[in-house]
């Protein structure tokens, strides 16, 4: 029995979907049809209701184009992951989530929202709409960056979904200029850069090009980021990098008026999460607070899908902040 069949016959729905592309969102009609057009794109829509107090507000409908092609797009752009649905519902469907998105983009000439492992872009698009909902009469510029691995097919498909949705958001808030970009983010390169800084104690990055976004972000988002041990430590390093002053290349003049934080939705039993990711966060002085998915949020997500998610109560939301100053942590 080959490796793929071993995974497919297991009880792990995640790997079964990732390796076979069989899911409620992605049905192959026949082998002949698949052979004719491997990259056939189907659409998926997710309607996120407004917070309960907003009785007159219509739900936000996010349109997502799925890619049914084989290869690297199968596990990244083939289906919407449950974790991204949960985080998208939290950011747009709750007052707390909307406030976090608005505040992250409220600083002049700095700040913004960064999504790691964006995949189809569902979470980042919900964050964009949430940030635009507050202060509809203010003239602001929103900086939101959606990222994934440095692969042309993945990034171009992600940009297609961004372009499909962001233009519709401007009818909600015409005063806000929205800069939503798609960029590569190589966690390994971030981790190497972080260790180089710790070793050499220098911040000179002039004329250096990296495969990850530069500058400050006040809200970092991620959905199901950890599922194998190999990249768990690099993921923790990347979150630390963007929560610290290193990302702005300014250790002396950074404003601390707004607390930077990361929010990730994750199944806690994924390989490498408890054994690699969480210990690395502790080493870096990151404070991790775990919360269950609330019944209110479950209702938001499942009403938008018009179906239940059997494993939704198994997920956890992790709120991550930096405890100690970056200079102390890197020197020890």
CATH number reported for the structural domain that contains residue 82 in this entry: 3.40.50.150
Q: Is residue 33 part of a domain?
A: no
pLDDT at 175: 54
pLDDT at 41: 65
Rounded distance, CA 240 to CA 190, Å? 10
CB 130 within 8 A of CB 91: yes
Query: b/e for 254-271, b at 16 or more Cβ within 10 A?
Result: eeeeeebbbbbbbbeebe
Rounded distance, CA 162 to CA 155, Å? 10
Rounded distance, CA 128 to CA 273, Å? 28
7 burial via Cβ count (<10 Å: 0-12, 13-18, 19+): middle
What residues contact residue 249 under an 8 Å CB cut-off, 6+ apart?
203, 205, 214
Q: Is residue 31 part of a domain?
A: no
**Structure letter (DSSP) for residue 247:** G
Give the number of other Cβ atoms within 10 Å of residue 75's Cβ: 17
58 burial via Cβ count (<10 Å: 0-12, 13-18, 19+): exposed
Q: Is residue 154 part of a domain?
A: yes
Q: How many CA atoms within 13 Å lie on the side-chain side of 279?
A: 6
Q: Is residue 2 part of a domain?
A: no
The tens place of each residue's pLDDT in the chain, 332 residues long, gives 444 444 333 344 444 433 333 444 444 444 444 444 444 568 899 999 999 877 788 899 999 999 766 555 566 777 899 999 999 999 999 999 999 998 898 765 568 999 999 999 999 999 999 988 865 555 667 889 999 999 998 999 999 999 999 888 765 555 556 789 999 999 999 999 888 887 765 555 555 678 899 888 999 999 999 988 989 999 999 999 999 876 654 434 444 456 799 999 999 999 999 999 999 999 999 999 999 999 999 999 999 999 999 999 999 999 999 975 444 344 33
Q: Is residue 277 part of a domain?
A: yes
Q: Is residue 10 part of a domain?
A: no
The closest of 142, 141, 122, 116 to 212, measured between CA atoms, is: 116
What is the span of the domain harbouring residue 243?
38-330
| pTM for this model (two decimals) | 0.81
Token duo for residue 134: 């507050």
The total number of structural domains in the chain stands at 1
Q: Is residue 28 part of a domain?
A: no
Q: Is residue 187 part of a domain?
A: yes
Rounded distance, CA 223 to CA 146, Å? 12
What residues contact residue 12 under an 8 Å CB cut-off, 6+ apart?
none
Listed in sequence order, the DSSP H helices in 137-217 are 152-169, 187-200
What residues contact residue 74 under an 8 Å CB cut-off, 6+ apart?
18, 19, 21
């Amino acid at each position: 029995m080959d490796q793929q069949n071993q995974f497919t016959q297991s009880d792990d729905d995640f790997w079964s979907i990732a390796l076979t592309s069989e899911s409620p969102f992605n049905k192959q009609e026949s082998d002949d049809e698949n052979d004719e057009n491997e990259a056939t794109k189907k659409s998926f829509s997710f309607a996120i209701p407004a917070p309960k107090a907003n009785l007159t507000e219509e739900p936000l409908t996010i349109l997502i184009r799925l890619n049914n092609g084989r290869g690297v797009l199968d596990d990244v752009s083939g289906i919407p992951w449950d974790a991204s649905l949960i985080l998208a519902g939290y950011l747009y469907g709750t007052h707390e989530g909307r406030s976090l998105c608005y505040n992250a983009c409220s600083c002049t000439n700095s700040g913004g929202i960064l999504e790691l492992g964006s995949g189809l872009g569902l979470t980042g698009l919900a964050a964009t709409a949430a940030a635009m909902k507050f202060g509809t009469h203010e003239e602001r510029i929103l900086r939101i960056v959606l990222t994934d691995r440095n692969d042309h097919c993945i990034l171009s498909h992600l940009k297609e979904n961004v372009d499909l949705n962001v233009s519709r958001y401007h009818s909600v808030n015409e005063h806000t200029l929205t800069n939503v970009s798609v960029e590569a983010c190589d966690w390994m390169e971030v981790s190497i850069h972080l260790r180089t800084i710790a070793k050499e104690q220098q911040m000179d990055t002039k004329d250096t090009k990296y495969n990850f976004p530069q500058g400050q972000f006040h809200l970092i988002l991620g959905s199901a980021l950890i599922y194998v041990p190999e990249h768990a430590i690099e993921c923790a390093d990347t979150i630390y990098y963007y929560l610290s002053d290193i990302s702005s290349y300014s250790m002396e003049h950074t404003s601390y008026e707004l607390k930077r934080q990361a929010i990730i939705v994750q199944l806690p039993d994924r390989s490498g999460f408890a054994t690699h990711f969480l210990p690395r966060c502790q080493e870096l002085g990151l404070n991790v607070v775990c919360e269950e998915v609330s019944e209110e949020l479950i209702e938001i997500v499942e009403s938008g899908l018009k179906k239940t998610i059997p494993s939704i109560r198994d997920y956890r939301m992790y709120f991550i902040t930096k405890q100690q100053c970056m200079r102390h942590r890197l020197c020890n």
